[in-house]
Chains A and B, each alone.
Chain A
Amino acid sequence: MRAAVVDVRGLRVELDDRPVLHGVDLRVVEGEVVTLLGANGSGKSTLVRSAVGLVPPSAGEIQLFGIPLKAFHHWWRVGYVPQRTTAAAGVPATVREVVAAGRLARRKLFRPAGTADRDAVDNAIELVGLTDQANRSVAGLSGGQQQRVLIARAAASEPDLLVLDEPNAGVDRRSQEAFARALRTFVASGRTVLLVLHEMGPLAPLVDRGVVLDSGRVVHDGPLPTPSMTLTGPPDHHDDHREDYGAGLFG
């Protein structure tokens, strides 16, 4: 049996004294791609935010890579993509500068970035297809490109687990596909993904298991129905004959 990467048991969370999660169990094992689905306010975002330690639980247990959250210090193993509409802040910053922030989990204080750090940042930018934009200001990019910057930032620490909170919200088609491609590369190397989605979109074929939340409770946990591919009739799916773009970036 594969080891649990995320193990949440009996999780209860209250936000502003209002109960949001009522005893949720969630287990994600190595190499799995799990999607949290549910309506607005169902608690899916709170669940992943608790899992990475941003929201304190009022009861229950959370473990990452088999270590209780309080004792967990290997944060470079977790790549987190928060729910954001922009990657920009109050001062201009280039794509490379923002992505490099994702490498800090592996860097020491008062030491300049080494070759391995710079290569990881370059690879992460290449993974999301923004190499040509690396020295542009993030504020000048489209919403979808900014979302890709956030994904590259999470990938820069070369994590074993990616946690993404609605990475496709308000993102253009091309960026969604670039993202799906990056995720496929990531998963192909046996790593784990936990993501919150509003709708599946182009990611559907990658997802192993869906967990559906409703009003803070798990109402479905299992494979999601996928449209079957028929053998006759007009073309309805795609085979990829090109070079496997981006393969091996996660080595």
Chain B
Amino acid sequence: MSFLDYDFMQRALIAAVLTGLAAPAVGTYLVQRRLALMGDGLGHVALTGVAVGLLTGWAPVWTSVAVAVLGALAIDVVRAQGRASADVALAMLFYGGIAGGVLITGLAGSTAATLNTYLFGSITTVSADDLWVVAVLAVVVIALAVGLAPQLFAVCQDEEFARVSGLPVRLYSMLIAIMAAVTVTVAMRTVGLLLVSALMVVPVATAQQLTRSFRTTFALALALGMVPSLGGVVFSYYVDVAPGASIVVASLLGFVLAWPVGTVLRRRRNAKARGGEDPRVTGAHVPTGQHPHQHDPDCGHPTVEHGDHTDYLHDGHLHAAHGRHYDEH
């Protein structure tokens, strides 16, 4: 395979694997928390960070991490306040990120073409230094997403319950925001800042068409993030398009294929589950006040002959009249 002979392609492919794993790892928690669009906003904010790098001559990968983390913490604080105006405040932060990025890039004297390599990725621009930073950050993000899975799952599933369990919910919430911000920077060179959110969300949406547990959704989303990332980078080698576009289109194709399969699976599962609970063995009954009638052969309740008497099937259990009360059988 000829493309593997090029150093830049080797670096791009390693970056693609790491991005393809880290983005859905964080994305699963964002989707679970119903914050699917957070990655999108962070991508916008990170653009200002890139522009600051271009203006000052510092490495854009570091300036964008710094700005995206600040943006993530701001978003998390606004979200935790829970005010009605939070929605608008976040929207303004996102617009500011994009506009500030373009403005500062202009001041730095960089061209729109330079900016484009950050917005939609570029396989030829991953430097060896960049790759080291990306690799370390991605490994840390993936390790935290796996190692803290029980805690992050609890916080994203039900924040209030997690608080009453004594978990430091604010801390975990900020950690997820920072992990998302770091992932945006990791993904900047392959899928790009404008499309990074797709790689956080689409693999998770595809995976959950086929799964019913969190664990398998998480694992499948990682695989479904990595495959289109590799495929998209290779496609960009042969056809001159931004890798971000080919990665996201490949990822969406996966969803389109999984969706009808998921529909069939769900239908089959529901059919199987129906009648899963035997109405006669619910194992649960508590006295519930007056009966509207005394059971007799004509009362309409199904009857079960039981030795010397007749039981009546009643709300999922059997009643036998015995003097002044009903016995449960």
B109 at the interface (CB under 8 A from A): no
Cβ–Cβ < 8 Å partners of B321 in chain A: 235
A251 at the interface (CB under 8 A from B): no
The interface stretch among A4-12, A134-142, A187-195 is: A134-142
Q: Is the CB of B276 within 8 A of A133?
A: yes
Most buried by A among B158, B273, B276: B158
Mark each residue of chain B from 258 to 274: 1 if its CB lies under 8 Å from any CB of chain A, else 0.
00000000100110010
A17 to chain B, nearest CB (A): 13
B294 at the interface (CB under 8 A from A): yes
Q: Is the CB of A136 within 8 A of B327?
A: no
B166 at the interface (CB under 8 A from A): yes
Cβ–Cβ < 8 Å partners of A203 in chain B: 286
Q: Is the CB of B286 within 8 A of A97?
A: no
How long is the Cα–Cα vector from A245 to B281 in the complex, in angstroms?
Answer: 11
Q: Is the CB of A238 within 8 A of B164?
A: no
B281 to chain A, nearest CB (A): 9
B157 interface neighbour in A101, A113, A180, A181, Cβ under 8 Å: A101
A234 at the interface (CB under 8 A from B): yes
B161 interface neighbour in A80, A173, A201, Cβ under 8 Å: A80
B86 to chain A, nearest CB (A): 14
A91 interface neighbour in B32, B277, B288, B291, Cβ under 8 Å: B32
Closest to A82 in B: B160
B329 at the interface (CB under 8 A from A): yes
List residues 22-43 of chain A with CB under 8 A from any CB of chain B.
none
A149 to chain B, nearest CB (A): 11
Q: Is the CB of B285 within 8 A of A104?
A: no
Q: Is the CB of B324 within 8 A of A242?
A: no
How long is the Cα–Cα vector from A233 to B151 in the complex, in angstroms?
Answer: 57
Known: A104-B151, A109-B151. A92 touches B213 (CB 8 A): yes
Interface residues on chain B, number (Cβ under 8 Å): 60
B212 to chain A, nearest CB (A): 4
A231 interface neighbour in B31, B36, B290, B324, Cβ under 8 Å: B324
B170 at the interface (CB under 8 A from A): no
B167 at the interface (CB under 8 A from A): yes
A238 interface neighbour in B211, B277, B285, B294, Cβ under 8 Å: B285
Most buried by A among B161, B204, B208, B217: B161
How long is the Cα–Cα vector from A133 to B270 in the complex, in angstroms?
Answer: 12
A54 interface neighbour in B34, B160, B294, B325, Cβ under 8 Å: B160
List residues 191-245 of chain A with CB under 8 A from any CB of chain B.
201-203, 205, 227, 230-242, 245
How long is the Cα–Cα vector from A178 to B167 in the complex, in angstroms?
Answer: 29
A26 to chain B, nearest CB (A): 17
Q: Is the CB of A238 within 8 A of B284?
A: no
Q: Is the CB of B163 within 8 A of A184?
A: no
B315 to chain A, nearest CB (A): 6
List residues 147-177 of chain B with CB under 8 A from any CB of chain A.
147-148, 150-151, 153-154, 156-158, 160-167
Closest to B27 in A: A91
Q: Is the CB of B286 within 8 A of A91?
A: no
Closest to A107 in B: B150
5 contacts between A and B (CB under 8 A): A101-B158, A102-B161, A104-B151, A236-B291, A238-B285
- Interface residues in chain A, defined as those with a beta carbon under 8 Å from any beta carbon in chain B: 52-54, 73, 75-76, 78, 80, 82, 84, 87, 89-94, 97-98, 100-102, 104-105, 107, 109-110, 113, 129, 132-133, 135-137, 140, 150, 153, 157, 163, 173-174, 177-182, 184, 201-203, 205, 227, 230-242, 245-246
9 smallest beta-carbon distances between A and B, as pairs: A75-B166, A137-B212, A178-B284, A80-B164, A101-B154, A91-B32, A180-B286, A238-B287, A181-B284
Given contacts A84-B158, A181-B284, 7 further A-B contacts (CB under 8 A): A91-B217, A105-B167, A177-B316, A202-B286, A230-B324, A235-B294, A238-B288
